[in-house]
Amino acid sequence: MKFRYQAVERLPKPLKEGIVYHSAEYEVGALLCACGCGHRVSLLVPDSHKVESTNGMATISPSISVCDAPCKSHYIITAGEVEWLPAFSASLAASTMRDQIARHAERDVKRLTWTQKLWASIVATYRKLKAAMFGRSQ
């Protein structure tokens, strides 16, 4: 089966086989599992997956591992071509989930650091102002 790329505004409810739907606006993608099991595979672009069109054919990176369906398929789609990869073992699937959670946590830490930096610069400015007004440095 070959996968065509289709840009959409919103993901349609019933998906057609052989089409990777991609909403650039909502940063999501969806396709019916390449194994033919009928499972709807959802792709979250900011999370991990990049969905692109290669001359109208779908390219998804990195590989798709279907953890939430019985088929446990693992494959990568490049220019519409499906390349099958060894199935994820339960432990590898778990570690992938952990990585994803870790990435989220990392992003939160970065946000926190940014806020802290801002706060630190406000405090520093305040101290400088105070020192300028009272001629005293702390």
To the nearest whole angstrom, how small is the minimum distance from the Cβ of residue 78 to Zn ion? 18
DSSP assignment, residue 102?
A: H
Judge if the upstream peptide bond of residue 62 is cis by omega within 30 degrees of 0: yes
Question: Measured between alpha carbons, how far is residue 106 from residues 21, 24, 47, 118 in Å?
Answer: 29, 24, 12, 18
To the nearest whole angstrom, how small is the minimum distance from the Cβ of residue 74 to Zn ion? 10
Structure tokens at 68: 């939430």
Q: Which residues bind Zn ion (CB under 5 A)?
A: 33, 35, 37, 39, 71, 73
Nearer to Zn ion, 68 or 108 (CB): 68
Nearer to Zn ion, 39 or 40 (CB): 39
Nearer to Zn ion, 65 or 73 (CB): 73
